[in-house]
């Protein structure tokens, strides 16, 4: 999507207002650290470094799937980032497939309460599960099951894809469930289906299948039409501040970034913070040269 350019933007760069509110929490910029990992020592280091960076910058953070934590309590420590980032918007994470296999409001509440999270992402990943040996492939009736679980929660729930895009039919199917936001997580970023085949097979055996999905820009447009009043998270191929600006213009409330932060997070919280600072600066400059005064002005400005 072309980005507008104003040679006379008629505003000061430092006056561009990036602050916003999401899930009831104020953010200094519309940016979340995306869901990545948890459960192993290395994963714990990644989560703690990311949380520290997000806390220092006033951003939010989404955790990776906490199923391992519920089934192996010793893994809880790798998700317990609240002590190092007491003020961040923190979003927990469980897989939708688990709610068809016995999980309910009790498990969802444990996932949130045991780490002091503010909300829970329920991720949908049928393609990843189908290409994973022993994956959870019983998805019949899940929309109805989520419509039972979500209203019983006393915290916000987010429906989240993992990198193949939320489609309009799915959004219509869960329209009555009461999700507080949708993370469209479109195709174009990390393909977890590819990751599964590389990890378990040593090669990508089904490249066409692995790259299936709704591209992020299209997913945002579809979601604006199918659920015009539900806040949207844009993820899936968001790599730069200009990508973030384009996603906001397409109607996203916030963006989430995961893969580019992995290497910095393995290094240190300072490296993760430096990457995020540059990302936020790129977003500010994009709005500035586009003639926008802030996030609220740019959001939804493109068809």
Condensed to tens digits (0 to 9), the pLDDT of residues 259-298 reads 999 999 999 999 999 999 999 999 999 999 999 999 999 9
CA distances to 15, 208, 247 from 218, in Å: 31, 19, 10
Q: What is the pLDDT of residues 102-113, one digit of tens each?
A: 999 999 999 999
Q: What is the pLDDT of residues 63-104, one digit of tens each?
A: 999 999 999 999 999 999 999 999 999 999 999 999 999 999
Q: What is the pLDDT of residues 184-236, one digit of tens each?
A: 999 987 766 666 666 666 666 677 777 889 999 999 999 999 999 999 999 99
Q: Count how many Cα atoms sit within 13 Å of the Cα of residue 161 in the half-sphere of its side chain.
A: 32
Closest to 210 measured CA to CA, from 226, 225, 199, 221: 199
Handedness of CA 7, 274, 62, 200 (dihedral sign): positive
Token pair for residue 82?
């609240």
Q: What is the pLDDT of residue 200?
A: 63
Please check if 259 is assigned to a binding site: yes
Please check if 26 is assigned to a binding site: no
Pair type for strands 31-33 and 254-257: parallel
Please check if 66 is assigned to a binding site: yes
Please check if 191 is assigned to a binding site: no
Where along the chain do its domains lie? 13-298
Please check if 239 is assigned to a binding site: yes
Q: What would the DSSP string read from start to end of 43-79?
A: HHHHHHHHHHHHHHHT-EEE----HHHHH-GGGGGGT
Looking at CATH, the fold of the domain delimited by 13-298 is given as TIM Barrel (3.20.20)
Please check if 67 is assigned to a binding site: yes
Q: Which residues are within 8 A (CB) of 229 and not within 5 positions of it... i.e. 6 or more apart?
A: none
Q: What is the pLDDT of residue 139?
A: 96
The H or E element containing residue 232 is strand 232-234
Please check if 93 is assigned to a binding site: yes
139 CA to centre of own chain = 22
CB atoms within 10 A of CB 303: 9
Q: What would the DSSP string read from start to end of 119-175?
A: EEEEEE-HHHHHTSTT-----TTHHHHHHHHGGG-SS-EEEEESSS---HHHHHHTT
Please check if 129 is assigned to a binding site: yes
Q: What is the pLDDT of residue 92?
A: 97
Please check if 128 is assigned to a binding site: yes
Contact 73/116 with Cβ under 8 angstroms? no
User: Does 176 have pLDDT greater than 90?
Assistant: yes
Please check if 237 is assigned to a binding site: yes
Please check if 240 is assigned to a binding site: no
Please check if 37 is assigned to a binding site: yes
Q: What is the pLDDT of residue 191?
A: 66
Q: Count how many Cα atoms sit within 13 Å of the Cα of residue 249 in the half-sphere of its side chain.
A: 20
Q: What is the pLDDT of residues 230-242, one digit of tens each?
A: 999 999 999 999 9
Diameter over CA atoms, the chain: 59
Please check if 11 is assigned to a binding site: no
Q: What is the pLDDT of residue 195?
A: 67
Gap between the Cα atoms of 153 and 80, Å rounded: 21
Band of residue 40 on the pLDDT scale cut at 50, 70, 90: low
| pLDDT above 90 as % of the chain | 83
The 3-state secondary structure of 272-299 reads HHHHHHHHHHHHHHHHHHCCCCEHHHHC
pTM for the structure as a whole = 0.95
41-69 average pLDDT score: 94
């Amino acid at each position: 999507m072309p980005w507008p350019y104003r040679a006379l933007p008629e505003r000061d760069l430092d006056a561009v207002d990036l602050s916003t509110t999401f899930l009831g929490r104020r953010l200094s910029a519309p940016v979340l650290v995306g869901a990545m990992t948890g459960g192993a020592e290395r994963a714990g280091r990644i989560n703690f470094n990311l949380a520290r960076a997000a806390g220092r910058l006033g951003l939010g953070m989404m955790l990776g799937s906490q199923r391992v934590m519920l089934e192996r309590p010793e893994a809880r420590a790798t998700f317990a980032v609240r002590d190092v980032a007491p003020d961040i918007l923190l979003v927990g994470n469980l897989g939708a497939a688990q709610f068809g296999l016995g999980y309910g409001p009790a498990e969802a509440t444990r996932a949130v309460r045991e780490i002091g999270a503010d909300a829970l992402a329920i991720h949908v990943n049928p393609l990843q599960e189908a290409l994973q040996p022993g994956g959870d492939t019983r998805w019949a009736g899940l929309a109805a099951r989520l419509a039972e679980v979500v209203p019983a929660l006393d915290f916000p729930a987010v429906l989240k894809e993992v990198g193949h895009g939320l489609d309009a039919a799915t959004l219509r199917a869960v329209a009555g469930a009461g999700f507080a936001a949708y993370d469209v997580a479109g195709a174009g970023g990390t393909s977890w289906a590819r990751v599964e085949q590389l990890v378990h097979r040593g090669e990508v055996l089904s490249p066409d299948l692995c790259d299936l999905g709704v591209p992020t820009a299209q997913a945002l447009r579809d979601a604006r039409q199918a659920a015009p009043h539900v806040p949207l998270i844009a993820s899936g191929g968001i790599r730069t501040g200009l990508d973030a600006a384009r996603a906001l213009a397409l109607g996203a409330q916030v963006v989430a970034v995961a893969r580019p932060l992995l290497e910095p997070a393995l290094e240190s919280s300072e490296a993760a913070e430096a990457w995020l600072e540059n990302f936020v600066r790129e977003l500010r400059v994009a709005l500035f040269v586009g003639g926008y005064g802030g996030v609220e002005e740019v959001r939804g400005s493109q068809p």
